[in-house]
Structure 1
Amino acid sequence: MRKIMDKSYSESDLKDITLHVDGIDCAQCGESLCADLERSNNITTAQFNIVSSELELKIEPVEVDFPHLKKIIGIHGGQLADDKFWSSNFIAAKANSSEVNGHLTAKLLEQPEILSVSSNGSKDQVTVIHTNSREELTKFMTEFGFMVQNLTEKPTEIKQKARNWPLVLTVISGLFCAAGIGLGLLNSGQSEFSVGFYFFAIIFGGIFTGKKALAAIRVFKLDMNVLMCIAVLGAIGIGEWNEAAMVVFLFSLSNLLESYSVERARNAIKKLMNISPDMALLKQDNGTILKNIKDIKPGEIILIRAGERVPMDGEVMEGISHLDQSPITGESVPVEKNPGEKIFAGSINGTGVLEVRVTHSSNQSTLARIIKLVHKASSQKAPVEKFVDKFAKIYTPVVVLIAISIALIPPLFSGEWGIWFYRSLVMLVIACPCALVISTPVTLVSGLTRAARDGLLIKGGSFLEMAGKIKTVVFDKTGTLTKGNPELKNVKSLSGLSTDEILMIAAAIEKKSEHHLAKPIIERAKKRALHLPEAGSVISIPGKGITGEVDGKKYFIGNHRFFEEILLQIKLNGKFNTSGSAIYLWDEVQLLGELEIFDPVREESAEAVAALKKMGVAPIIMLTGDNKLAATRIAQNLQLDDFHAELLPDEKMRRLADIMKKTNSKTAMVGDGINDAPALAAADLGIAMGEGGTDIALETADIALMNDDLRKIPSLVQLSRRVMKIVRQNIAAAILIKLIFTLLIIPGIATLWLAVIADVGTSLLVILNGMRALKKTPAIFN
């Protein structure tokens, strides 16, 4: 990664673009590509994600040299995916040539979706290479005052190499190799004719390997392709044509198998993208029309028939049906949806027909955001992955030095230069850390994808790794351990006012509050058809209550702590509610009444707590702003290890810090992602109740539970431990197999072609083992 050379650009000025690249299936090839791209004038950093095939670039805010970019990617054996790019030609009407060449070009190039802009000043014609849709490009143009006319759009002409060329060349190489071996057997040894067959086997099988080796040498990288070419040339140098041909053929074959295995891992993410249809039935005055979801705007009505997948996020306007939301939330049981309830793109409609008002554009749906976050998570390296990368950078040079030592030192004593030179070539083949490097990202991305399928949105491999290390879990109460839908259980008068008068005054003031306890009070008043007067001078006091004036008289609503602060001379004298959360209404003289509010505990809370304890996660602690009596009851029912009650919002964060210091263990904070955002950020792992993917939950926490089922937390811990176990297995296997073959080199047991089989076999082994993380973890709950 090179630094920004032009001091006129700051980090914030840089433009981020993401390109989809096919044909690069090797982690080291991706590293060589990035190193080469970073030598370009305006590319400051480049990173290739081997699992998602995405190339992420940070560039200076100038035009991308698209031909140069394609050339560099091609040198390293890759191709830009032609279905991801569009070339649009249009006339920017009412703009003179200087505006087109200046203001418009500059504005376009600020957008990450715009790669290059070229214009013809005499015709005001502009050609743009872009990755977003034509509609999005047109919208952006019109926002800046340019009228777009005669816009034509077509895929960019990116020449794709036939995907079967590596297979064809490998087969030809294998045939020549087999012919050479057969001829050698007939002649009882290597002949000129057999050498000819071996020569062509090396040429056909080594074309792509040689090309990638030259690309790596361009950026001074000592990757597997370079090492393999050195080994092959060395074998030819000592006359071992059959060994050289076998190495080339086997290496070419192994690359095909590795590409196939990596593609299987990539398909795991692609399946997430394919669960939402591209077309939807848009309702119009004269019927319905089938339309691309990219062209449907929020507020429009779509029709979803029985058995169809939901194309866009929306709200049910008409109809009742049961929806399978498992692709989004991981829920296995279909959920009934009625008018007024929201549904998610990718869900499967049951037997009913639904009319749905679209609430989000196609690229802003919950599913789209999940896919974006999974892609982003796959590019963020976990600590174990960073360790493996650092180890690999040391490992390869060390093994190469050992190979040189094998070639030079033993012959000084034995004089057998040819034998030891051959053994050093075998060591070179062993030197490649491909299996070690690729094992970790494949496993972590498989785990992240499995989690997404189960309704667990994890923002990176580091958070997946952390989940398995958690020993302390701190829960917020309201909306987390409880349902977060409080109910007004009872209204009690403690003065001469009637219960309806108590309810009327409280509802009038709470009507101007956004606190979650306001809703049940207002709903009860509406249910009793009470007239609510207009409240004035309403002031909310966080963590305590609210004040306001009704009919010219000042009232206070809040908890007992707020009451005692205002009326120090009045004591409740045992009038506190002991069965649940209660708030009180009083004026400047006396206590007027009590409103008992009950927030039911989630049915799955007890199961989740019990499962966590069974897995060795303890202590489990609750933080709440509720009174001690209510908190004690919930803590006892759920068998929590400890709780802290009557906390103000800012006190929760300080209490969390105390818990983390006291336990000296990795701590997870679980909350609703709204009023406890600071605590979620301060914990080692922040887990938010996703509520089907609210923006706040998705942005705030490290992990979001897409259906608010707390039982997913033990499942998360189980998945993390399973994934990290596979990672350790892969690292151990990669190192152990290398070590065994290194020991077999000294006595001369290991040969070049066996070394190739061992190296690539190990890569395939760790990839397939890593993909086991895609399998559903054993059920913890019945």
Structure 2
Amino acid sequence: MTTAEPVQRSTCTLSIERRGGRSESGAVSLERRLADVAGVHDVDVSFQTGSVRISYDESVVSEDELRRAVRDGGATLEEEEPDEARTRSELRVEAAFVGLTLLGMVGGLVAGWLDAPASVRWVAYGGAYVFGGWYGLQGAVETLRHRAVDIDLLMIVAAVGALLIGAPFEGAMLLFLFSLSNTLQHYAIGRSRRAIRSLVEMRPESARVLRDGEEVAVPIDQVEVGDVFVVRPGDRIPLDGAVVDGESTVDQASLTGESVPVAKAPGDEVFGGTINESGSLEIEVTREAHESAITRLIHMVEEAQSEKAPTQRLIDRLEQPYVLGVFALTAAAVAVPMLLGAEFSPAFYRAMTLMVAASPCAVIISTPAAVLSAIASGGRQGVLFKGGEHVETAAEIDAVAFDKTGTLTEGDTRLTDVIVRDGAGAASDSLDEDRLLRLAAAVQARSEHHLAEATVEAADDQALDVPEAVGFQAAAGKGVRATVAGDVVHVGNRSYVETFLGDADVDGLDEGLDRLADLEAEGKTAVLVVRESDDGTTVIGWLAFTDTVRPGAAEMIAELRDLGVEHVVMLTGDNERVARRIADEVGIDEVQAELLPEEKVDTVEGLVDRYENVAMVGDGVNDAPALATATLGVAMGGAGTDVALETADVVLMGDDITKVPYVLGLGRRTRRTLSVNLAIAFGAIVLMVGTILLRGIPLPLAVVGHEGSTVLVSLNGLRLLGYRD
């Protein structure tokens, strides 16, 4: 049987030239074209935000080929994000066009009041039509090139129709409000994007690197891992690194959302883009500029902004058939009255009014304005949503599963007890606590488990000489073994002993298991140390560890319940007694203990079957499979963890467990905002269309109602930028 090659799935985010209209029909057409390219898995295109996000198999298609496909699809690629000055300049031009449209509309109206020559009126209205319809016409033409129709075309046709029936003021008014709401829409989306793009400004351009004892200013792209740079009080830290000299406090709010500065001393990790406050620091570089936490955050947010929410995807796909339906309704509104004997002019006027009222402009902008604002708001709080889809998913969560160590607890596990079994020392080379600790540390030195790290750290703190171990083997979630000085030494929990030593004649096993139970009853995690030698297999001692609950964990669980979460579960590989003590302390409903990594996945799958929408919160290292299995994966500590950024749907950059209710709360607030926006948009359409069909309303009133609802939903979406817990 041939083993299938693994799929090399990658993601690229490309910048494209934004288009002046508000429609995304052209984006949907480009998405379909790119989806047909071999090797492409998923595509998101937005001409409003100027981005293309493509998930693809790099073994089938290259990024250069995708760039060509985007260009062939009619989009203009930009090599980099438009800078702030350019974006503001474009917005000023749009605003100027709005002003000129207003000037032309008012000029034509005043000229009519003053009975000025007809040429004056038509010049004024002509200016209003040209400037007011410029961007909409561009968008309509681009969409027609893709053999599609959109709301930009609807507005242009309605304005021209008003002109043809002798209502130039109404047409000019439509184009004025259309261009005004377009500009406000671009401002709303641009403000959301600028809130995140400002992260780029947090990266200093250079670092003061120590070279031959002197400080030399070096561009950050030229600084290498291992270089040491100096940061003075008040400076931004240019790169990720570890403190080698000095003590200070660092403001990490811009990256992790932490409101209180964090103390830093030699050995502590620091992140680029954060601010050194009180003391001078010498820092050794641990990541190059393109791998730093702030750079990865920026990249992930760019991808997040380009990934559309499910509601937006649905609206984009329904836009064209909806617009065709409006055109059909408009044609019927002209044809039916005329067949019944009505005159053309009033029938056509009513049809144009109906076209304006039924246009879905407010529906189209209702979702991106809200979702992009939510992503930006989360970024300010150190919460990274990796796409609009996950913002909406967060609103649906009914159950939350937490990993214990490093998530609900500090993860700073400490070795508290090193106990030699009575009678073991006589046959074990004068075994004492130091000797037992050295043996355990030798075996666990190559393990990444938090208990092993605590053992090795305790040996280092006591400056013990740890011997070499060979033949290291690990049983995930159970224990480890290796050969030290010719003897095989096992360090493991009850499950490990039962699995690997259950059939052996182990001296002192019953006593050791009893002592494990005693220590676990005290709320500690305990393991046995067993040695195999020529004299037999003997329990030579046991180790006990403890961890502390994170501050605010209990309050966080209470907040989740206030948000409507039905069930909270703890998943851990630790023993039942320890897990139950932590669960009782913070208010957990259910405990699943002594789980292997694959059993965590099975448990999460079971929760999904029971509650449908389940969030899994873990540290992003050993919980990756469970995070991927849950409806919403939330990883802790993304500022320093590559796995967290790659695996989870949401990353808490500041390793702050109290942000979990914020994630769900923001999702729920976004859902309510979307519901309100869609109610406003569709409510305005239904109200105006119904009134037009039953009694009739003047075209200016339909224009005001249509464009007013568009402006209202844009501003309502922007309110999410200020969301707090």
TM-score, with structure 1 as normaliser: 0.80
Q: Which amino acid aligns with 1:338?
A: A
The residue that corresponds to 1:215 in the other structure is: 142
Deviation at 1:667, TM superposition (A): 1.3
Match of 2:24 in 1: 28
Q: CA 1:268/1:517 → structure 2, altered by over 3 Å: closer, same or farther?
A: same
Q: Indicate conservation of the 8 Å contact 2:25/2:148, yes or no.
A: no
Counterpart check, 1:560 vs 2:494: yes
1:685 matched residue in structure 2:
632
Q: Deviations over 1:378-436 (max 9, x none)?
A: 22222222233344344322222221111111233352321111111122223432221
CA distance in 1, matches of 2:114, 2:273: 63
Pick closer, same or farther for the CA change 1:198–1:532 going to 2, 3 Å. closer
Compute the displacement of 1:163 (Å). Answer: 6.3
Distance 1:253 1:293, change over 3 A: same
Distance 1:71 1:653 in 2: 42
Contact 1:36 / 1:218 at 8 angstroms: preserved in 2? no
Q: Secondary structure at the match of 1:331?
A: coil
Does 2:415 correspond to 1:488? yes
Mapped to 2, the partners of 1:633 and 1:17 lie a distance apart of: 46
**Of 470, 473, 488, the match for 1:536:** 470
Q: Which residue does the alignment assign to 2:261?
A: 334
1:237 to 126, 142, 164: 164
1:581 Cα deviation after fit: 0.9
Asked whether the 8 Å contact 2:231–2:282 carries over to 1, the reply is yes
User: Is the Cα–Cα contact under 8 Å of residues 51 and 265 in structure 1 kept in the other structure?
Assistant: no
1:316 aligned counterpart, secondary structure: strand
Matches within 5 A, 1:548-697: 548-565=482-499, 566-567=501-502, 570-572=509-511, 574-575=514-515, 576=517, 577=519, 578-579=521-522, 580-587=524-531, 588-661=536-609, 663-690=610-637, 692-697=639-644
Query: Partner letter of residue 590 of structure 2?
Result: D
How far apart are 1:510 and its partner, in Å? Answer: 2.2
Alignment of 1:324-363 (within 5 A): 324-363=251-290
Measured at CA, do residues 289 and 755 of structure 1 come closer, stay the same or move farther in structure 2, by a change above 3 Å? farther
Q: Deviations over 1:178-237 (max 9, x none)?
A: 3322222133x9956534543444345434433433333222222233222222322232
Equivalent position SS for 1:517: helix
Query: Closer, same or farther in 2 for the Cα pair 1:709/1:746, shift >3 Å?
Result: same
Match of 2:346? 419
Q: Does 1:703 align with 2:650?
A: yes
| Deviation for aligned residue 1:764 | 1.9
Q: Unpaired runs of 5+ in structure 1?
A: 1-10, 86-157
* Range with greater deviation from structure 2 (629-638 or 741-750): 741-750
Q: Counterparts in 2 of 1:383-394, with a 5 A limit?
A: 383-394=310-321
**Alpha-carbon deviation of 1:729?**
0.8
SS of the residue corresponding to residue 593 of structure 1 reads strand
Contact 1:392/1:436 (8 A) holds in 2: no
Counterpart of 2:479 in structure 1 is 545
Aligned to 1:225: 152
Q: Which amino acid aligns with 2:538?
A: Q
Partner of 2:698: 751
Q: Which amino acid aligns with 2:539?
A: L
Q: Structure 1's 656 and 15: CA in aligned 2 closer, same or farther, altered over 3 A?
A: closer
Query: Does residue 1:523 correspond to 2:523, yes or no?
Result: no
Determine if the alignment matches structure 1 residue 445 to structure 2 residue 393.
Answer: no
Counterparts in 2 of 1:33 and 1:174: CA distance versus 1, 3 Å: farther
- Per-residue deviation, 1:37: 8.6
- Root-mean-square deviation over aligned CA pairs: 3.5
1:735 to 678, 682, 705: 682
CA distance in 1, matches of 2:43, 2:587: 51
Contact 1:51 1:266 in 2 (8 A): no
TM-score by length of 2: 0.86
The change in CA–CA distance for 1:729 and 1:592 in structure 2 (over 3 A counts) is: same
Partner residue in 1 for 2:3: none
The one of 170, 188, 211 equivalent to 1:284 is 211
SS at match of 1:603: coil
SS at match of 2:477: coil
The one-letter amino acid paired with 1:583 is V
Q: How far apart are 1:553 and its partner, in Å? A: 2.8
The whole-number CA distance in structure 2 between the counterparts of 1:548 and 1:287 is 47
Aligned partner of 2:4 in structure 1 is none
Task: For 1:247-286, list aligned pairs within 5 A.
Answer: 247-285=174-212
Aligned twin of 1:454? 381
Task: Tell me if structure 2 keeps the 8 A contact 1:36–1:219.
Answer: no
Cα distance, 1:234–1:532 mapped onto 2, change above 3 Å: closer
Aligned partner of 1:214: which letter? V
Structure 1 residues 172 and 376: CA distance shift in structure 2, 3 A:
closer
Distance 1:682 1:696 in 2: 15
One of 724, 727, 744 as aligned partner of 2:671: 724
Indicate the SS of the match to 2:723: coil
* Structure 2, unaligned runs of 5 or more: 1-6, 426-431
Please state whether the residue corresponding to 1:621 is helix, strand or coil: strand
Seen in structure 2, the aligned counterparts of structure 1 residues 480 and 409 have a Cα distance that, compared at 3 Å, is same
Question: Which position in structure 2 is the counterpart of 1:510?
Answer: 444
**Cα drift, residue 363 of structure 1:** 2.2
Question: Deviation of residue 61 (structure 1)?
Answer: 7.1
The one-letter amino acid of 1:356's match is I
Q: Residue 549 of structure 2 aligns to which amino acid in structure 1? A: V
Query: Please, which of 294, 299, 303 is the counterpart of residue 372 of structure 1?
Result: 299
Q: Counterparts of 1:58-69 in structure 2 under 5 Å?
A: 69=71
Worse overlay, 514-523 or 462-471: 514-523
- 1:491 to 1:729, Cα distance in 2 relative to 1, 3 A: same
Question: Whose RCO is larger (CA < 8 A, sep 6+)?
Answer: 2
Secondary structure of the structure 2 residue equivalent to 1:711: helix
Percent identity of paired positions between Structure 1 and Structure 2: 34
1:182 corresponds to: 110
Q: 1:666-702 CA distances to partner (integer Å, 9 max, x unpaired)?
A: 1112222222221111111112222533101111211
* Contact persistence 1:261–1:764 (CA under 8 A): no
The number of residues matched between the two structures is 689
CA-CA distance at 1:599 after TM superposition? 2.0
Change (3 A) 1:50 1:311: farther
SS at match of 2:514: coil
Q: Give the equivalent residue in structure 2 for 1:148.
A: none
Structure-2 change in CA distance of 1:217 and 1:40 (3 Å): farther
1:53 to 50, 55, 66: 50
Residues 246-293 of structure 1, C-alpha deviations (whole Å, 9 max, x = no match): 333443344333333333233222222222222332332363333332
Q: Tell which deviates more after alignment, 722-731 or 487-496.
A: 487-496
CA distance 1:306–1:69, change in 2 (3 Å): same
Note closer, same or farther for the CA distance 1:501–1:208 as it changes in structure 2 (3 Å cut).
closer
Tell me the CA shift for residue 476 of structure 1.
1.6
**Alpha-carbon deviation of 1:43?**
13
Instruction: Say which is worse superposed, 545-554 or 680-689, in terms of deviation.
Output: 545-554
CA distance in 2, matches of 1:628, 1:41: 52
Change (3 A) 1:263 1:190: farther
**Alpha carbons 1:13, 1:60 under 8 Å: kept:** no
Q: What letter matches 2:401 in structure 1?
A: V
Matched-pair contact (CA < 8 Å) for 2:30–2:73? no
Asked if structure 1 preserves the Cα contact closer than 8 Å seen for 2:245 and 2:281, the reply is yes
In the alignment, which residue of structure 2 is the partner of 1:106?
none
> How many angstroms apart in 2 are the aligned matches of 1:392 and 1:589?
74
